[in-house]
Amino acid sequence: MEFKTYEESRLKDLGKLVKEVVSEWPQDPWYPTMEQLKEAYENNENFTPETRHFLYDGDKLVAFLASALEQEVDGVQWGSLHMPFIRKGYEEVEEKLRDKTIGLLKSKGAQAVYAYSRSDNGYIPDLLKKWGFEQKEAAGNRIILKASKFASKDYKAPDYFKELDLNNDEHLAKFKKIYLKARKEVEEANFDETMKMFRERDLTISLVIAKKDEAVSYGLLYKAEQDKRSFLSSIPVFDQKHKFILKEVFDYMVNKAKKEGYEEIYHALVDQENEGVYKKMGVEFSPSYRYELKLD
């Protein structure tokens, strides 16, 4: 077996490997497409091909692991690992893959390494522990929904819902006020840049603002790069008396996604206090955990 570093021609092999590996996982991890990886690598002036570890058995790619040297924090130089993809039947290369990757990071000055994984990422959580990583705090909750599970053929939208088009300047101005109210980390001066992706790449499927006497929430649904997949934004609830609106916007969006032909919806839990409401709706989020390994 032989390790090779990144060359564009190897992305085709990687795409096949990723597809084969994740097909047995309970949830698709939404790994970038090979086109997205190619673009990301080519546009990153700090990209280091030697940190992309392709392990071949003859002409067959049997394992892949990406790593990177990260920032120094509190005097500790960190490195990171992404998802280790190992072809079924080649589990014996696990240690070889670890030693190659960790060895390179150590040679670059890493004193510790971190990785992130979810419980539904197949063998990865157990493999990280086998490699000596310690599970740390949870870092974000998300779910990949099946639109058909939550959509209803008899669904009827509330009459006070208002759809907006982000490509329409007047509609965008209306959305700006409520968006900045919900996303306090986004400064007004950066709003146009934040919306640029949706307008230029034509990713928007639907935007709805729920209004009664005032705008009380919104939902933004947009398509992913992969076919039949979409993203659903956070659904803000500004006042406890409007708690009901979360389910109403959610129902609207999943039905809209199904109508548009999208089978899966990626949705993240942003406001932790709303987790109980989601559970009553039958929506259970999966946490991502940080794993850490201190190097000798």
All structural domains of the chain:
2-132 (3.40.630.30), 145-286 (3.40.630.30)
Binned at pLDDT 50, 70 and 90, residue 30 comes out as low
Q: What is the pLDDT of residues 78-97, one digit of tens each?
A: 999 999 999 999 999 999 99
Q: Is the model more confident about 213 or about 24?
A: 24
Handedness of CA 276, 183, 233, 43 (dihedral sign): negative
- pLDDT tens digit sequence for 216-273: 888 888 776 667 778 888 888 887 777 888 899 999 989 988 888 888 888 888 888 8
Q: Where is pLDDT greater, at 128 or 38? A: 128
Look at 148-157, 164-173, 177-186, 204-213 and tell me which has the smallest mean pLDDT: 204-213
Count of alpha carbons within 13 angstroms of residue 252, beta-carbon side: 26
Quick one: pLDDT at residue 211? 67
pLDDT score of 232: 87
Can you give the pTM of this predicted structure? 0.72
Encode pLDDT of 182-196 as tens digits.
888 878 888 877 777
- Mean pLDDT check: name the lowest of 45-49, 66-70, 164-168: 164-168
